[in-house]
């Protein structure tokens, strides 16, 4: 292992405020941060004299303005490039993270996990959201009989600042998983990392700023105490906190949170459980997968994860086999030491304070009746220097009385877990619930009925439940890995908040508003055409005589919301119905048996297949020559409303409903509102047609 240079005095860690790096001049109070393995100084932390009010004001002014000049897709695209930039420079973050006690495997969770998270949000933002700054939420509500008064819900970005207060254990991922959705939403961020590992966060922020991808005022960093930050926030702002339940409660009690409308979400410590199903005995694949999962969660990040498994709930007869299996795997897999040593598989805790806190928690659990079965403070730390570094051995306890209150309330935030026996599934459910609300539980079973029974019992107590069995053991991302696609958070002790969850996370930084008005006004507000709003209509006759242009002949540059094509009528013959039935094999009686169809209360007699009508509609609205419409990519929200029988006629009205240009492609997506009517002007079917349309017309298409 290379020697560490200790000749230079530790530097004062800078903050990034109002688009400049800032450090206090000769602060009277500083906090010294030490290397978790060697106790050598890393940096000094102080925010004495930092103007938090000015930081908030800068975010609300410059940050809001610069982000507002970009659309959702433009901001999401910047995240894609930012992920690539951070990936290119990740080794620098790895080297700094070594000092926190994190191993190379841990870096993959924190550094690579954070980069992967912003990459995922970039992709989902561009695929699932409009290239605009207003998001329509849900269907339109008809508020008048004639369709002149409508209502719906929209999301718009918050006009304040997104403040994130993070824990020490994930200095990169903890920041990026909050930053990505707020950035896509268009809300500037102020980051306040935990002081113990703030130097890693500071390095990541520096890389982000150096990338040139962060707009003015969109990101600020407070490297140390946030002091009076919450005093400057109001209903425009959002605070996302990760840390202890006690600190969360303190922040919740702040007057601006309690009474002035500051939005506050918390993700706090929780006593997560892994439950071994009654079918998963020692001779099963599930048992082996269970042991692997528990040991991984004990040792990854040295157990300093809010999702780590603190309670191992197993059938009473399996307590000893589980303990012995954990002992065997821990003995063979865990090498405690400095992460810079290639042989190390588990590093120290983040600080000596953390080590002392974990030791106190273990003492409390033992005093309450727990038995140390593996490890423990008295077992030593092997070749690791516990006197200098913050090392703590992997520790397994068991309890003769599984309902001992301490095991369901005291968290040793380190490589410590407790094995508890249960009598039956109801008993296991009760034990899991005693944790008072958790981020995640793993249930290891290969029996779908057992999985369903556990779901009914524990889902309401958990933010996420992982089902582990032989089929997904190799592909599962694991108990302790929050995914950007899925909600991270949990009820009760876990904080009662939500993060991640795909586009849900973006909407956490937006306001949902009900809007009401006429079709024309709501079209103007949302940028999405509403049925009944003004339209520019082309017909077969006006297209033929050259007085109108078919919408399919218009490129994205020419097409406008409300451009419309209204076809003529096409009559359905009985032969059309029978021929379609024979060619497709869809000989359902409503199309082929006159007597049976007539007896059906929903049909007047034999009726046309719905998909025949949809196919005919395409024939009625399509413009067949090569042109800017490049592909049909889907059909959504299909609803059949009025049956069509032979001798009826249908016509189609196609209207450009939404236009979504792509930032990096030479095409965009167009959503077309499609309505089929019969000869009586009754609605037969409604749906949306999705197409890709070129941004510009080519000369040969004219």
CA distance 437 to 492: 4
Q: φ and ψ at 132, to 5 degrees?
A: -155, -160
Angle at which helix 198-210 crosses helix 173-185, to 10 degrees, equals 40
Neighbours of 592 (CB within 10 A): 15
Most distant CA pair in the chain: distance in Å? 97
Task: Check: CB of residue 223 under 8 Å from CB of residue 46.
Answer: no
Q: φ and ψ at 675, to 5 degrees?
A: -130, 130
Angle at which helix 610-621 crosses helix 574-584, to 10 degrees, equals 110
Instruction: Kindly list the catalytic residues.
Output: 267, 306
For the chain, how many residues are written?
Answer: 702
Task: Check: CB of residue 481 under 8 Å from CB of residue 114.
Answer: no
Going from the C-alpha of 386 to that of each of 79, 338, 339, the distances in angstroms are 41, 11, 14
Task: Check: CB of residue 500 under 8 Å from CB of residue 488.
Answer: yes
Strands 438-444 and 462-468: parallel
Give the helix/strand (H/E) hosting 489. Answer: strand 487-490
Task: Check: CB of residue 59 under 8 Å from CB of residue 179.
Answer: no
DSSP state of 109: I
Q: What does the block give as tokens for 380?
A: 């030593």
Q: What is the dihedral of CA 326, 330, 332, 337, to 10 degrees?
A: 180
DSSP states along 613-655: HHHHHHHHH---SS-SEEEEEEEEEEEE-S--BTT-EEEEEEE
Q: Residue 461, SS3?
A: helix
Q: Angle at the Cα of 124 (from 122 to 126), degrees rounded to 5? A: 70
CA distance 508 to 527: 22
Q: Which residues contact 440 (CB under 8 A, 6 or more apart)?
A: 272, 307, 462, 463, 464, 465, 466, 479, 480, 490
User: What beta strand segments (E) does 183-284 contain?
Assistant: 189-192, 219-221, 238-243, 263-268, 272-276
CA distance 352 to 357: 9
Residue 265's nearest CA partner among 595, 500, 593 is: 500
Sign, CA dihedral 341-347-352-355, equals: negative
CA distance 73 to 8: 45
Q: Which residues contact 303 (CB under 8 A, 6 or more apart)?
A: 297, 394, 412, 413, 414, 415, 416, 417
Task: Check: CB of residue 436 under 8 Å from CB of residue 405.
Answer: no
Q: Residue 313, SS3?
A: strand
Q: φ and ψ at 667, to 5 degrees?
A: -145, 170
Task: Check: CB of residue 121 under 8 Å from CB of residue 76.
Answer: yes
């Amino acid at each position: 292992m290379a020697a560490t240079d200790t000749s230079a005095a530790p530097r004062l860690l800078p903050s990034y405020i109002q688009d400049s790096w800032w450090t206090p001049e000769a602060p009277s109070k500083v906090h010294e941060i030490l290397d978790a393995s060697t106790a050598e100084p890393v940096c000094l932390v102080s925010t004495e004299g930092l103007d938090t009010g000015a930081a908030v004001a800068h975010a609300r002014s410059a940050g809001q303005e610069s982000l507002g000049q970009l659309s959702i897709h433009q901001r999401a695209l910047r995240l894609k490039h930012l992920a690539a930039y951070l990936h290119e420079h990740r080794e620098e973050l790895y080297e700094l993270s070594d000092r926190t006690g994190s191993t190379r495997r841990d870096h993959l969770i924190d550094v690579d996990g954070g980069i992967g998270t912003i990459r995922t949000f970039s992709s989902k933002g561009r695929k699932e959201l409009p290239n605009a700054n207003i998001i329509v939420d849900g269907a339109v509500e008809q508020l008048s009989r004639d369709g002149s008064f409508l209502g719906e819900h929209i999301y718009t970005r918050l006009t304040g600042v997104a403040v994130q207060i993070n824990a020490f254990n994930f200095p990169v991922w903890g920041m990026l998983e909050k930053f990505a959705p707020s950035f896509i939403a268009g809300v500037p961020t102020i980051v306040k990392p935990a002081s113990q590992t703030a130097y890693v966060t500071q390095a990541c922020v520096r890389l982000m700023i150096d990338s040139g991808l962060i707009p003015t005022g969109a990101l600020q960093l407070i490297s140390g105490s946030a002091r009076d930050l919450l005093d400057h926030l109001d209903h425009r702002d959002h605070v996302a906190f990760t840390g202890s339940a006690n600190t969360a409660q303190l922040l919740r009690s702040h007057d601006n949170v309690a009474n002035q409308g500051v939005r506050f979400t918390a993700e706090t410590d929780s006593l997560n459980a892994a439950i071994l199903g009654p079918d998963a005995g020692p001779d099963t694949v599930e048992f082996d997968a269970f042991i692997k999962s528990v040991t991984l969660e004990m040792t990854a990040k040295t157990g300093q994860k809010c999702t780590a498994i603190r309670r191992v709930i197993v059938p009473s007869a399996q307590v000893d086999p589980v303990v012995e299996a954990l002992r065997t795997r821990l003995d063979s897999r865990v090498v405690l030491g400095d992460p810079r040593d290639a042989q190390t598989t588990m590093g120290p805790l983040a600080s000596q304070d953390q080590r002392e806190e974990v030791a106190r928690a273990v003492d409390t659990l033992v005093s309450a009746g727990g038995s140390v079965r593996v490890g423990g403070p008295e077992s030593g730390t092997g070749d690791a220097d516990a006197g200098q570094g913050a090392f703590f051995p992997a520790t397994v306890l068991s309890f003769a009385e599984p309902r001992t209150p301490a095991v369901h309330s005291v968290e040793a935030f380190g490589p410590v877990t407790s094995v508890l026996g249960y009598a039956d599934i109801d008993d296991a459910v009760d034990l899991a619930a005693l944790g008072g609300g958790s981020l995640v539980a793993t249930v290891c079973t290969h029996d779908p009925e057992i999985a369903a029974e556990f779901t009914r019992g524990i889902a309401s107590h958990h933010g996420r439940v992982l089902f582990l069995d032989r089929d997904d053991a190799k592909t599962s991302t694991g108990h302790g890995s929050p995914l950007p696609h899925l909600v991270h958070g949990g009820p009760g002790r876990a904080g009662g908040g939500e993060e991640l969850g795909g586009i849900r996370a973006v909407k956490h930084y937006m306001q949902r508003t009900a809007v009401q008005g006429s079709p024309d006004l709501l079209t103007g507000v949302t940028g999405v055409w509403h049925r009944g709003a003004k339209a520019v209509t082309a017909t077969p006759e006006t297209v033929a005589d050259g007085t109108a242009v078919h919408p399919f002949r218009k490129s994205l540059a020419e097409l406008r919301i409300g451009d419309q094509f209204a076809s003529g009528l096409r009559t359905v013959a009985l032969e059309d119905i029978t021929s379609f039935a024979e060619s497709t094999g869809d000989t359902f009686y409503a199309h082929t048996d006159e007597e049976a169809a007539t007896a059906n209360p929903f049909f007047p007699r034999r009726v046309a297949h719905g998909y025949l009508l949809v196919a005919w509609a395409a024939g009625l609205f399509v413009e067949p020559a090569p042109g800017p419409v490049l592909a049909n990519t889907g059909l959504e929200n299909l609803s059949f409303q009025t049956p069509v029988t032979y001798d009826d006629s249908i016509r189609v009205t196609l209207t450009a409903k939404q236009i979504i240009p792509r930032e990096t492609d030479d095409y965009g997506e167009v959503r077309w509102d499609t309505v089929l009517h019969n000869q009586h002007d009754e609605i037969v079917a409604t749906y949306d047609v999705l197409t890709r349309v070129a941004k510009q017309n080519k000369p040969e298409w004219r």
